[in-house]
């Protein structure tokens, strides 16, 4: 598949700068992959598409204020985006993306106010090991939420960049398909007879990196930590249908089913031609061109139908990207058996 097949034209005015208020008042496009149909709804009516025996699976990762401004010796500025804890418990050593990276050197001392950090070894691709006494505490005291570059960095936007069910800290980006849920929506999901289960996948910046290779298959996928609790594994195995909320849940469940491991690193790359093992339906946002996220959605819903859906979303002036509207893809075509 050529990466150019992930291109589409999007007016800048359709890039959402804040979520709908209330969040479940966002629009919901329903794409039925078996029927080849597209229909338009409001997200609060998502439970109408669910039934007893369904398992709705959410990613309960919590975004940390991972963006930190620091100074190099001599006063030069460097922006650090902390991606993952290398030492455990938020203390000692983290992997961080540095901008600019060329001026970084092992052993260099960085300052963030009265906090001192040390540069460790280069990890590659602009990422470095950063050492400190209590990095997680420093981030909570001085860091900012890692908003995508297409969202204006305001205090309001930072406060909105979290799902209502976020629990386990560790993400440098939000699982944005979950932004549409309110506590009321989740109650209505349960009233419809569907179960609600949780996984964790800590989202890194690689999720949003554009595919730069000419052929999609040549793209090198990033790796992210995931965990599937035993309770969720049982719920998924016994469900009539599994509805994943977001591409992060899709990657988590497919990694779990493929590897047989309840916990580990996911570097699964899902694009058209992939044989789905777990998901029967997918809730997702409208994604950037040339992104692995769009490739995953095309794999699930069918390349041509998803292209048609995106074209219709532009015509109907849906709101796009992290704070934008949602899509529910039904009957995506699970080929294998469930289980991990």
Domain ranges of the chain: 3-63+155-330, 67-142
β-sheet bridge partners, residue 68: 80
| pTM (2 d.p.) | 0.93
Dig out the tokens for 52 from the structure.
């007893």
Q: Fold for domain 3-63+155-330? A: QueA-like (3.40.1780)
Q: Is 86 helix (H, G, I), strand (E, B) or coil?
A: coil
Q: Where are the alpha helices (DSSP H) in 68-182?
A: 135-142, 155-160
Superfamily of domain 67-142: QueA-like (2.40.10.240)
**CB-CB contact of 98 with 128 (8 Å):** yes
Radius of gyration of the chain (CA): 20
* Counts of helices then strands in the chain (DSSP H, E): 7, 17
Q: Examine domains 3-63+155-330 and 67-142 and report if their fold is the same.
A: no
Q: Which of 155, 197, 146, 136 is nearest to 176 (CA)?
A: 146
What is the spatial order of strands in the sheet that 195-201 belongs to?
A: 37-42, 27-32, 326-330, 281-285, 241-245, 54-59, 195-201, 224-227, 263-266
Show pLDDT as tens, one digit a residue, over the chain (340 residues). Answer: 999 999 999 999 999 999 999 999 999 999 999 999 999 999 999 999 999 999 999 999 999 999 999 999 988 999 999 998 887 666 689 999 999 999 999 999 999 999 999 999 999 989 999 999 899 999 999 999 999 999 999 999 999 999 999 999 999 999 999 999 999 999 999 999 999 999 999 998 776 677 889 998 999 888 899 999 999 999 999 999 999 999 999 999 999 999 999 999 999 999 999 999 999 999 999 999 999 999 999 999 999 999 999 999 999 999 999 999 999 999 864 543 344 4
Phi, psi for residue 41 in degrees, rounded to 5: -145, -175
């Amino acid at each position: 598949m050529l990466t150019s097949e992930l291109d589409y034209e999007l007016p800048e005015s359709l890039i959402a700068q804040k979520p709908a208020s209330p969040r479940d008042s966002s629009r919901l496009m329903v794409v039925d992959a078996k029927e080849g149909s597209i229909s338009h709804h409001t997200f609060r009516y998502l439970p109408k598409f669910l039934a007893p025996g369904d398992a709705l699976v959410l990613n309960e990762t919590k975004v940390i204020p991972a963006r930190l401004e620091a100074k190099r010796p001599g006063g030069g500025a460097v922006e650090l985006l902390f991606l993952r804890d290398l030492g455990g418990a938020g203390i000692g050593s983290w992997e961080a993306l540095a901008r600019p990276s060329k001026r970084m050197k092992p052993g260099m001392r960085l300052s963030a106010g009265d906090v001192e950090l040390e540069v460790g070894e280069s990890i590659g691709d602009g990422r470095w090991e950063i050492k400190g006494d209590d990095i997680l505490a420093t981030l909570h005291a001085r860091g900012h939420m890692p908003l995508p570059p297409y969202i204006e960095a305001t205090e309001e936007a930072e406060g909105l960049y979290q799902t209502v069910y976020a629990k386990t800290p560790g993400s440098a980006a939000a699982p944005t398909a979950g932004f549409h849920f309110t506590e009321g929506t989740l109650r209505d999901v349960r009233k419809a007879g569907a179960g609600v289960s949780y996984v964790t996948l800590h989202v890194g910046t690689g999720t949003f990196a554009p595919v730069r290779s000419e052929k999609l298959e040549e793209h090198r996928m990033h790796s992210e930590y995931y965990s599937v609790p035993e309770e969720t594994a049982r719920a998924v195995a016994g469900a009539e249908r599994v509805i994943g909320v977001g591409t992060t849940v899709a990657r988590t469940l497919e990694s779990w089913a493929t590897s047989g491991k309840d916990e580990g690193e996911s570097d699964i790359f899902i694009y058209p031609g992939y044989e789905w093992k777990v998901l029967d339906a997918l809730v997702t946002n409208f994604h950037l061109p040339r992104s692995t996220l769009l490739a995953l959605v095309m794999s699930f819903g069918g390349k041509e139908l998803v292209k048609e859906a995106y074209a219709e979303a532009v015509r109907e002036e849906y709101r796009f990207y992290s704070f934008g509207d949602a899509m529910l893809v039904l009957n995506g075509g699970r080929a294998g058996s469930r289980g991990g």
